[in-house]
């Protein structure tokens, strides 16, 4: 009996030894996140077959590692000019140049994922990696989350650069659990935040826009919050969170591009005729410059336009849809250049409901399905612009005495793309459109609403738009008889 006990005890010791030995040789797979200024946040959890794993050796220790640049490429950085922040679970960080990664590996050992480098300083070898953060080195607000006002760009930041700021840690109340009334447990999550009132002051209200076309007015300030490769906006005490924002407009105008729908509907209900003059790509900053420099004599003779804002994304399809539906992109369904069919009725369809005659004079095509058949205007004279043809067709259409007519001039946007927002050739196009607006206004007996879908800003030798910056977002809005 004692021999059997001895044998059992010996067997148990052998099993324990084998188990312990296996565990010592086993890799400790935690997870490391590749995040920051990337299109695709990626999490590495094991020896994924997506990558080539190399046998490397440093200081007589052998590792199985993947090139850091292969992980970075997997996440698709938003820029070719970037740095990398290796962040350890213990708070230790090392910053590397994104163009000097040929000797950098990520390996797995008893500390979890770690960095091993050969030609970098020893402190670039971070044990127990928590995240690998890509940081865009280019100061380009088009690829940032921006804080803007009605007349300037105030602050811009990317998820990667967020970590290089003096951000704060906010202990966010995430909920509670309860066993009984005496044993409630409050649950908190630490969030990395920057208070909005530390970026700018005199905040009365704000307008938050999200990447999915969301549009939210708030009566108080809050925090921008880092969330992986995205930035959110939160007001913790009210449990408000808007995910993946593109920016915040401080003290936004009272007027928006969406007012076009409601103002037109209001006058139609009063049996007043309405003409909407839609000047594509005409930012408020261009409107002011044109008036101050003699490029808009007719508009200068009228009351000054209100400062208004358009929506995100400030491109023709989305701005046009917001104008004629009265709804932001998340509600009308048209969020970018790909959308065409609104999910809600347009002002043209509303006019028909009110038994009104509605017409639309367009260029060679219509970016949005409006609910009525447009009058198209081809470039008959081959000058690469259609504004003169739109003008001619508008004069003909006015003779049919419509109750509602929208006239869409494209030339300011076309010239802006070619030459920039303030170029003399763009201003001359504004002057031309100004003269067209003067004549069709003189032949119209009713209200006129003049506005734009978006603005424009200079980039290189040309112009562009579609970003959350004041030049693209802030537009003129004018109602006159």
Assess whether 187 and 230 both reside in one domain.
Answer: yes
Per-residue burial over 79-116, b if 16 or more Cβ lie within 10 Å, else e, is beebbbbbbbbeeebbebebeebeebbbbbbeebbbbb
Q: Are residues 102 and 145 in the same domain?
A: no
Residue 108 lies in a domain: yes
Position 28 scores a pLDDT of 66
- Distance in angstroms (rounded) separating the CA atoms of residues 157 and 159: 7
Going from the C-alpha of 284 to that of each of 59, 312, 454, the distances in angstroms are 63, 16, 9
| Long-range contacts, stretch 43-52, CB < 8 angstroms, 24+ apart | 44/71, 44/106, 44/113, 47/108, 50/74
Please report which confidence band the pLDDT of residue 315 belongs to, taking 50, 70 and 90 as the band edges. Answer: very high
The CA distance from 83 to 155, in Å, is 21
| Last residue within a domain, chosen from 102, 136, 170 | 136
- The reply to whether 279 and 186 lie within a common domain is no
One domain, residues 218 and 362: no
Kindly state whether residue 9 falls inside one of the protein's structural domains.
no
Q: What pLDDT digit, counting tens, does each position of 227-271 carry?
A: 999 999 999 989 999 999 999 999 999 999 999 999 999 999 999
In a domain, 430, yes or no: yes
Q: Residue 67 maps to which CATH number?
A: 3.90.420.10
Any idea what DSSP says for residue 38?
B
Check whether residue 98 and residue 179 sit in a common domain.
no
- Region label for 379, one of left (φ > 0), alpha (ψ between -120 and 50) or beta (otherwise): beta
The verdict on 161 and 126 lying in the same domain is: no
Q: How far is CA 177 from CA 171, 183, 241, in A?
A: 17, 9, 21
Q: How much is the pLDDT for 8?
A: 56
54 and 127 co-located in one domain: yes
245/261 same-domain check: no
Q: What is the pLDDT of residue 59?
A: 87
* pLDDT exceeds cutoff 90 at 178: no
DSSP string of 164-178, one letter each residue: TS--EEEEEEEEEEE
What does each C-alpha distance from 144 to 98, 248, 303 come to in angstroms?
Answer: 19, 12, 36
Cβ neighbourhood burial of 376 (10 Å; 0-12, 13-18, 19+): middle
pLDDT, one tens digit per residue, over 353-381 is 999 999 999 999 999 999 999 999 999 99
Q: Is the pLDDT of residue 344 over 50?
A: yes
Same domain, 462 and 329: yes
Structural domain contains residue 18? no
**Residue 184: pLDDT band by 50, 70, 90 thresholds?**
confident
Judge if 230 and 302 occupy the same domain.
Answer: no
Identify any residues that bridge with 170 across adjacent strands, giving them in sequence order.
Answer: 191
Q: Where are the alpha helices (DSSP H) in 273-344?
A: 284-292, 297-301, 316-325, 329-332
Domain boundary, last residue among 136, 167, 190: 136
- Dmax over Cα atoms in the chain, in whole Å? 116
Token pair, residue 49, equals 């077959």
Residue 425 lies in a domain: yes
Query: Within this chain, do residues 375 and 327 fall inside the same structural domain, yes or no?
Result: yes
Dist. CA 249–CA 468, nearest whole Å: 9
**Residue finishing a domain among 95, 110, 136:** 136
Confidence tier at 3 by pLDDT (50, 70, 90): low
Rounded (5°) CA angle 224-136-337: 75
Q: Are 358 and 405 in contact (CB under 8 A)?
A: yes
Predicted TM-score of the model (pTM): 0.90
The domain spanning residue 273 has which CATH number? 3.40.720.10
Q: Please tell me whether residues 436 and 287 are part of one structural domain.
A: yes
Of 12-21, 60-69, 165-174, which gets the smallest average pLDDT?
12-21
Residue 463 β-bridge partners? 458
pLDDT tens, residue by residue, 118-146: 989 989 999 999 999 999 999 889 989 99
Residue 446 lies in a domain: yes
Is the separation of the CB atoms in 66 and 52 below 8 Å?
yes
Question: Within a domain: residue 19?
Answer: no
Please count the structural domains in the chain.
Answer: 3
pLDDT of residue 174: 77
Q: Is residue 334 part of a domain?
A: yes
* Average pLDDT taken over every residue of the chain: 92
Domain extent for 117: 26-136
What's the token pair of residue 407? 């006239």
pLDDT (tens digit per residue) in 88-106: 999 899 999 999 999 999 9
């Amino acid at each position: 009996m004692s021999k059997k006990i001895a044998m059992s005890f010996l067997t148990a010791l052998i099993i324990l030894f084998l188990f312990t030995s296996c565990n010592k040789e086993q890799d400790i797979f935690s997870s490391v996140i590749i995040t920051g200024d990337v299109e695709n946040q990626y999490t590495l959890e094991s020896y994924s077959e997506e990558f080539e794993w190399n046998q490397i050796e440093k200081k007589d220790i052998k590792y199985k590692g993947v090139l850091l640049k292969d992980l970075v490429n997997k996440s698709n950085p938003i820029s070719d000019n970037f740095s990398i922040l290796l962040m350890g679970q213990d708070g230790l960080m090392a910053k590397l140049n994104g163009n000097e990664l040929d000797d950098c590996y990520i390996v797995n050992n008893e500390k979890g994922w770690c960095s091993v480098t050969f030609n970098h300083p020893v402190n670039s070898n971070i044990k127990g990696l928590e995240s690998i953060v890509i940081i865009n080195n280019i100061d380009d607000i088009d690829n940032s989350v921006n804080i803007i006002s009605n007349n300037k760009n105030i602050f811009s930041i990317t998820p990667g650069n967020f970590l290089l700021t003096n951000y704060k840690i906010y202990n966010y109340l995430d909920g509670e659990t309860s066993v009984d009334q005496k044993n409630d447990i409050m649950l908190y999550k630490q969030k990395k935040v920057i208070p909005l009132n530390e970026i700018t002051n005199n905040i009365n209200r704000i307008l938050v826009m999200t990447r999915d076309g969301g549009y939210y007015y708030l009566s108080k300030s809050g925090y921008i919050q880092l969330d992986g490769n995205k930035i959110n906006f939160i007001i913790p005490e009210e449990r408000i969170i808007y995910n993946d924002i593109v920016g915040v407009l401080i003290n936004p105008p009272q007027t928006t591009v969406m007012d076009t729908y409601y103002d037109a509907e209001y006058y139609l209900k009063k049996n007043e005729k309405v003409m909407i003059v839609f000047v594509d790509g005409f930012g408020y900053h261009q409107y002011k410059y044109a008036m101050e420099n003699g490029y808009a004599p007719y508009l200068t003779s009228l009351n000054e336009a209100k400062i208004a804002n358009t929506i995100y994304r400030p491109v023709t399809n989305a701005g046009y849809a917001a104008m004629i539906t009265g709804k932001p992109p998340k509600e009308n369904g048209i969020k970018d250049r790909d959308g065409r069919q609104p999910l809600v009725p347009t002002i043209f369809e509303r006019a028909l409901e009110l038994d009104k005659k509605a017409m639309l004079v367009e260029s060679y095509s219509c970016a949005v399905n409006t609910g009525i058949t447009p009058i198209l205007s081809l470039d008959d004279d081959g000058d690469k612009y259609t504004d003169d043809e739109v003008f001619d067709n508008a004069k003909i259409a006015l003779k049919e005495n419509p109750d509602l007519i929208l006239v869409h001039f494209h030339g300011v946007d076309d010239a802006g793309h070619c030459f920039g927002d303030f170029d003399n050739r763009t201003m001359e196009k504004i002057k031309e459109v100004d003269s067209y607006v003067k004549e069709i206004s003189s032949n119209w007996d009713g209200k006129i609403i003049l506005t734009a879908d978006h603005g424009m800003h200079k980039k290189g030798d040309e112009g562009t738009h579609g970003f959350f910056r004041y030049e693209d977002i802030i537009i003129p809005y004018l109602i006159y008889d």
